[in-house]
Structure 1
Amino acid sequence: MKQDKAEKIIQKAERKAAKAAKQVELAGKKAEAAKQKQAARAEKKAAQVAKNAEKKAAKHAKKAEQATKKAQLAAQKAQEKQAKVAAKIAAKALEGEEDGAGGKKKKGKKKLLLILIPVAVAAIGAGAFFFLKGGGEEEEAPLEPIPIPLEYLLNEVPITALPVTGDEVLVYQEEVPPEPPAEPEAQDGGKDEAGTPGEDGGAPAGEEGGEEEPAAAPAEEELGFTKILYRYEGLKNPRSLATAYAAVMSTEDAGFSLVDETLLRIDPPESYGESGSLQLARNIPAGEDGTGGGVQSLLLSWEGTSCSVLLDMPEGRVHDPKPEAPVSGSTRRGLSDLEAIHPSKLGLPGESMEAYSMIPQEGSVRIAGAVCMRVNIYSAGNQFAGSYFLSNDGKLYKLDEAANAVVELEWE
C-alpha cells in the first residue's frame, strides 16, 4: 500500500519535472526568437544607416568632382590668357630692339616683364591646386544616429533618459563646447603703429630710457563645461513626452525641480504650447573628499516632431524664492476675518458664518508664490461645505474641486 503511494508520488514528481523542463525549453525558444528578432532589427537599422551614408558620400564625391573640373578649367583658361599676354609683350619687346640705342632701356624693361609672367602663371596654378586639394573650409561630416539611450551620463552621474521607443525615431548626440572668453583689448603703451613715442613722451622701444618691461603672460582662464545635446527626431507628440518626463523627474525620488534661468524653483505653467522649452535642475552634494557636487541641468525643447535635451553643469545652486516680508497688521487677514465675512462671499448660503464651523488644516501650501493656510468649512450636521486658503499676503482663495484649481475671492 505504501509502495503504491510512493510510486504515485514519484510519478507525479516526474510529470511535474517533465512539465517544468518543457516550460524551460519553451522559454528558451521564445528568448532565442526574441534575440534573433532584435538582431535582425538592429541589422536592418544598421543597413539603412550604411545606405544613407553611402548616398551622402556619393553626393559629396560628385560635388567634389564637379568642383575639381571647374577649377581645372579655370586654371587652363588663366594659363591660356597669360600665355597670350606673354606673347604680345614678347612681340612688343622684339619691336623695341629695332629702335636703336634709345630703345635699350625699353628692351630691358620688357625682359623683366617676361620674367614675371611665368611667375604669375605658376601662382595661379598653385592656387588652383590648393583649391583642388580642399584648401578651403571643409564641410562638417553629417552626424550619424545613435541607439536610443536609456540613461544620460552627466559628469559620471547616470540620469534616466527621455523614455522613447520606436524604429522610426532617430537620436543624434553632439557636444556643445563652451564659448571662448573675450580677448582683452590690446594696450599700445603710448606708441603708435610705427613704434614712435606717443603723446605721453615715452621713448620708443630699443632706445635708452624707453625699454619696456615684458608684459606678464595672461592667466589661462578655465574653460566652461562642455554641454551634451541629445536630439530626437520623428516623435509623434514631443510636447506630451517632454512634459510627462518633467513630471516624473520632478518627483522626490528623481530630485529635479522646474527652475528658471537663475535656478530659482518655479511653479509649472497651466499649459504648454506646441513648441516651447522648460528647464529641470537639481543640486548634487560633494563627495567626502570635497570633490564633485554642483548642479545638474536638463534643458528640454520641443517643436514639430523633434525634441532636444541639453545636459549642463551651470554655476550656482537650485534655490527657493526668498520668503516675502511680513505684511502689516492692517492688511493681514485671519480666521477672525473669515468668521466675520458674509457667507455669500464664500459661495455659501445663509446670512451669517455662525452656522458654520471652521477647521484649520496642518501644514501649508504655496499659491502664486505666497504661503497659504488651508481651512475646511463645515455646515450644520458636519456636512463639508468647501476648502478655502488664507495667504500670508492677505488674499483669499477657494478650491474648485471639479477643476482641481483655486479661485481668488474678494473680501469686500
Structure 2
Amino acid sequence: MKQDKADKIIQKAELKAKKAAQQVEAAGKKAEAARKKQEALAQKKAAKAAAAATKKAAAKTKKAEAVAKKAQAAAQKAEEKKAKALAKAASKSSGPAKEGEGGEAEGKKKKGKKKLLLILIPVLAAAVGVGAFFFLKGGGEEEAEELEPIQIPLEYVLNEVHITALPVSGEEVLVYQEEVQPEPPAEPEKEEEKDKEQDASEENGEEGQAEEPAGTEEPAGTEEPAAETEEVPPKTLYRYEGLKNPAGLIAGYTAVMTCEDAGFSVVDETLLRIDPPEEFAAQGSVQLARNEPKGEDGTGGGVSSLLLSWEGTSCSVLLDTPEGRVHDPKPEASAPSAPRRGLSDLEAIHPSKLGLPGESMEAYEMIPQEGSVRIAGSICVRVNIYGEGNQFAGSYFLSTDGKLYKLDESVNKVVELEWE
C-alpha cells in the first residue's frame, strides 16, 4: 500500500514537472513571437519614415528643377528680346548715308550710334531685371523652410515666469512655435529739419547776407551723439491647428486664468481691466494680462500678456511683456448732492413758501415727529407746524437729499415745495 501511494506521488510530481515544462516552452514561444512582431513593426515604421523622407526630397528636387527651368526660360526670352532689339537697331542705322556731304553723313552716323545705345540700355536693364526677379523668386521658394510642429506645450515661459498653457491634447492637433519681430520705433524727422534749415540759410545768403568766416565753424566734437536705440527682443507665438472647438477652448481657458489663483485679467490695449466677453463667437481675440511681483533681489516685475486669437479650426497665443501696469478704471465722479436741509432752514423760510400766512416763522412752532417715512426713494423726517393758540397748521417732510414736501390732507398725498 505504501509503495502504491509513493508511486502515485511520484507520477503526480512527474505530471506537474511535465506541465511546467510545457508552460515554460509556451511562454518562450510567446515571447519570441512578440519580439518578432515588434521587429516587424519597427521595420515597417522605419520603411514608412524612409518613404516619407524620399517623397519629401523628391518634391524639393522637382521644385528646384521647376525653378531652374523657369529661370532658364526667362534668360532665353531676354536673349531673344536682346537679339531682336539689336537687329532692329542695325536695320535703322544701315539706312542711306550718301545724301549729303561728308559732314552730314558723319552726323547721321553719330545719331545712329546714339539711337543704338539708347535702345540697348533699356533692353539690357529689362533683361537683367527679369533674370534677377525669377532668380530671387526661385531662391526665395527654395530657401523658405516650413516650420516643423513641436510637442504640445504644458507651460509657456515668459521672462522666466511659468504660465499654464492651453489644455490641448490629441494626435490630430499640430502646434508650431515661431518668433515675431516687433515693429521698429518711428525715427525722429531730424534730417528733414536740417534740410529745411539749410535751405533757409541758403535763401538768406542769396539775399546778400555775409557768409561766416571759416574760423567760426564749430568743432566736430561739439555735435551731439546719436541716441542709442535699445533692441527689442522678438515675441513668441504659438499656433494651434486642427482644433475642433477653439472658441470653447479659449472661453474655458479665459475662465480658468482669470480666477484668483491664476491672477490674470481681461484687458484692452492700454492694460485696462474690462469685462470678459459675454459670448465667444466663431472668430475673435481676447487679451489676458497680470502684474508680476518683484523678487527680493529687485528682479522680475513687469506685465505678462497673452493675446489669444481664434478662427475656424486654429488659434494662436502671442506672449508679450508690454510696458505699464494692469489697472482698474477710475471711479466715476459722483454728482454733487444737494445741500442737506434741517429745522434751521425751515425756521428761516418765508411762510408763503409753506402756504402759511404771515411774514415770519417766528409765530409758528415746529415739532419733529418720531420715526421716518420714505418718499420718492429718500428717507424723510415729519415735522408738524402749529400756529397761534396751538392751532395745527400742517405736516411737512424734510428728506435726506434736501427736498421739502407738504402733506395735502384732503387727498392724503404729498406735494413737493420749493425752498427758494
Deviations 1:107-158 (A, max 9, x none): 3444565677766665555445434532799455443332222221212222
1:328–1:208 Cα change, 3 Å: closer
Letter of the 1:314 counterpart:
P
CA contact (8 A) 1:78 1:124 kept: no
Distance 2:179 2:210 in 1: 48
1:91–1:197 Cα change, 3 Å: same
Distance 1:273 1:40 in 2: 47
Match of 1:221 in 2: 229
Match of 1:197 in 2: 203
Match of 1:318 in 2: 326
Give the 5 Å matches for 1:257-336. Answer: 257-323=265-331
Distance 1:205 1:149 in 2: 70
Distance 2:57 2:212 in 1: 62
Give the 5 Å matches for 1:32-71. Answer: 57=60, 60-61=63-64, 64-65=67-68, 67-71=70-74
1:56–1:319 Cα change, 3 Å: farther
Distance 2:67 2:237 in 1: 31
CA contact (8 A) 2:246 2:311 kept: yes
1:132–1:235 Cα change, 3 Å: closer
1:317–1:108 Cα change, 3 Å: closer
Letter of the 1:75 counterpart:
A
Match of 1:167 among 164, 171, 177: 171
SS at match of 1:133: helix
Q: Percent of pairs identical after alignment? A: 51
CA contact (8 A) 2:248 2:280 kept: no
CA contact (8 A) 1:197 1:204 kept: no
Distance 2:116 2:285 in 1: 68
Q: Which structure 1 residue ranges, 5 or more long, are not aligned? A: 1-31, 332-338, 346-412
Structure with more helix by fraction: 2
Q: Which structure 2 residue ranges, 5 or more long, are not aligned? A: 1-34, 340-371, 378-420
Structure 1 residue 83 and structure 2 residue 83: aligned? no
**RMSD over aligned Cα atoms:** 4.7
Q: CA deviation at 1:87?
A: 2.5
Deviations 1:273-307 (A, max 9, x none): 22222221111122333233200011111222111
Distance 1:150 1:242 in 2: 15
SS at match of 2:183: coil
Structure 1 residue 143 and structure 2 residue 147: aligned? yes
TM norm structure 1: 0.58
Distance 1:45 1:317 in 2: 53
Match of 1:156 in 2: 160
Q: CA deviation at 1:80?
A: 1.8
Q: CA deviation at 1:237?
A: 0.7
CA contact (8 A) 2:75 2:127 kept: no
Match of 1:72 among 69, 75, 81: 75
Distance 1:153 1:48 in 2: 37
TM norm structure 2: 0.57
Distance 1:218 1:202 in 2: 35
Match of 1:349 in 2: none
